[in-house]
Amino acid sequence: MSWSASGPSSADDVQHGDAAPAPSNAGAIPAPVAPMPAPVVAPLVAAPVTPVVSDTAAPPVAVVPPPAVQIDVPDAPSVAWPAGDAMQTDPVGSLTTAKNSVPHGTGLVYDVRMMLHTTPAPGETHPEQPARIERIYTLLEQNGCVARMVRIPAREVLRSEVELVHEPSLWDEFEATVRIPFDELVEYSRQLEARASLYLNEYSTLSARFSCGSVIEMCQAVATRRVRNGFALVRPPGHHAEPNCGTGFCLYNNVAVAATSVLANSPPHDPVNRILIVDWDVHHGNGTQRAFWDNPNVLYVSLHRYENGTYYPGTTYGNYDRVGGPAALGKSLNIPWPCGGMGDADYLHAFQRCILPVAYEFAPDMVIISAGFDAAEGDMLGGCHVSPAGYAHLTHQLAALANGRLVVALEGGYNLDAIANSALAVTRVLLNEPLPVLPAGLATSTAGADTVARTVRAQAPYWRSLAVEQAYMPPSGPSNTAGDVLAAKRSAALWSAHRMVSLPPIPTEHIVANQVACSATLMSQGLETLLVFVHDNGAVQLDDAILPGEYAHEPALYMSDSSEFVAQWTSDRGFACADVNTRASLPVRTLRNQDRDRALPRTDEAGLKSQMGAQLLYLWDNFFALSPAKHIVFIAHGTACDAVVHLISRRVVQDRVVAMIQLMGYNPIPLVPKQRQELKMWYYKNSLVMCPHNHPLYLWDEQSASGKRLGHTVRASEPNAANLVQAAWPEVEAFIDARLKARRLVHV
């Protein structure tokens, strides 16, 4: 999440570009305002605030008289505060409430001093900018939300509170920055940005203290039922901050400190013993998960882009198999999205299929949302498509828990319009407004459903509500892969039905049997046609089956395998058949090609393609090219399509190969070499490339610019790639007959 850019100073964004940036010679932080007393949840009027000095706070600044609407912080941007008939001016710049506020309503905490944290050098911009919270507050006010909310005064966090989660050295390190000369601070901030995706100016620690302290105040207000629920409109964010370091735009972990404080200080007559934290920021909250890794009283749930650990924060700590420490197994629940583009349907599916069943079983006394809005539609860092209505529905479902004790704390989100509209939708839910209507036709993506299913299997051993699923328990002893089992079954079936025998595999260090089978007539004189079927392992699924009689208790291994079907067809035609398995997996996910590498499990894709290509070259050179067959037909399925194109690009096959049928999965279509013009024309004429209905070529017009290098493409009506062989067989059969007829006419 590192960021570097040049442009207008982010301090200029504090009030729509009207405020001036902090002078470059500003070297001292203003004296902090001490914590305010607990709010009275009744109609408030402006009144002088008597500060209470904290255990580390400096003497309080002087309070400006109530009539003023300007906050003047020495050597810092001046921030105008709105005034009007319904609102009274807060002399220290904290949020005020409407005169008609109702007890047990919705709280809001906000303070303009959190906008003082900005990039230290003039001319630099950053996505985590002061205007983020200002834009949200303005939109809430314009839509009448602020006037209906209860003021929760902002305050600075105490050192003793920070040390509930963080090491003492972290406080010392951040507080020391106020004594660094400005020029040195600029350079230090640049180094920190490169190392930890974090910047600091002379006011950053003040803003961070208010951000963390404000979340604590809101959580305490909800825990003690002074308000029913609330929104902590704070920055800088916190969920990346680890016990020993700040990182990822975060100084202190606001939510972790607040949750720990509430657990330690909840009222005895109405205690908070269990807290659910739902983190829907697009980045994994590594700091929050680490803070509660071995704490059975906090259930941490995160939905985030993961991409095999390559997406920020760039570790495998957010994978679905990270379920908590020894004392808290199941208390870390990760939904690691494999790619961008996830939307409302994916998030709602994750909630309904996994998160809510676990949440009800956990039965929290309070719910805290780490509400990053960078998965919102339009966010430049998140690349997802969650709508304001989607966020509203997620909030509504969480509000049903913990007797309504719900706190929303702002985390990330960097498109100003997107975060403002999303925060408005969430706030309206907190205020009990009707839910917005979601569009018809919402359905989770294949990648989304697969990710949630993996999480459910990983969590099933620890939650009875998920126990209906097969638990994720890797074998500890020797085992066979599903591909090995399928290969043995395939080899036995082909021998039994068609007397097809195994060919020796390519000599390698790890020789795998049962991968290549051929008809006994492969080398027979007078053979006219050889059909070579090259395929991957197909779709394999283990599930509980509904089986009759005495077998009802046995699980079923569903194997989508077309080898016997193809072998029977070639036998009926009098052709010889060769069956080649590449041991890869059938690509069944509909993904944009640019997301595919991140979405699929970690494999050496280049190495896999090279291995498949080498295997087919070996078989061609030692068997197929030596066969007396006059005509050779290739049918490839799934990832094997790459191996066939690799073969025709490296061997001269045009004299004997009469047809090339490619039955695609949802993988990218392989291309013939661009510089081979004659091969491109031959391939286009002699190929049939059948694509499942929702292939990216047709959904998103991907690869269309490649033209004839794709071959002759046809869109099938079948959406399931595993069923494409049988579904497209009438077209395949007609194409083979046509190409064989054309070749025979040429030789007459």
What residue has token string 């606001």?
A: 254
DSSP-based three-state secondary structure for 386:
strand
* Residues 171, 173, 174: CA angle, nearest 5 degrees: 70
Q: Is 119 exposed, middle or buried (0-12, 13-18, 19+ CB in 10 A)?
A: buried
Which residue spans within 162-272 are E strands per DSSP?
229-232
Rounded CA-CA distance 411/404 in Å is 21
Query: Which residues partner with 637 through β-bridges?
Result: 663
Rounded CA-CA distance 116/208 in Å is 10
**In this structure, which amino acid lies at residue 554?**
E
Lay out the sheet containing 298-305: strands in order across: 150-151, 106-109, 229-232, 406-410, 366-371, 275-279, 298-305, 332-337
| Exposure string for 260-280, b = 16+ CB within 10 A, e = fewer | bbbbeebeeeeebebbbbbbb
The secondary element (H helix, E strand) that includes residue 691 is: strand 687-691
| Exposure string for 32-49, b = 16+ CB within 10 A, e = fewer | bbbbbeebebeebeeeeb
Catalytic choice (117, 166, 239, 240): 240
240 catalytic per annotation:
yes
Q: Inter-axis angle of helices 677-686 and 640-650, to 10 degrees?
A: 130
CA dihedral 473, 478, 479, 480 (to 10 degrees): 160
What is the separation of C-alpha 23 from the centre of its chain, rounded to a whole number of angstroms? 40
Active-site residue list: 240
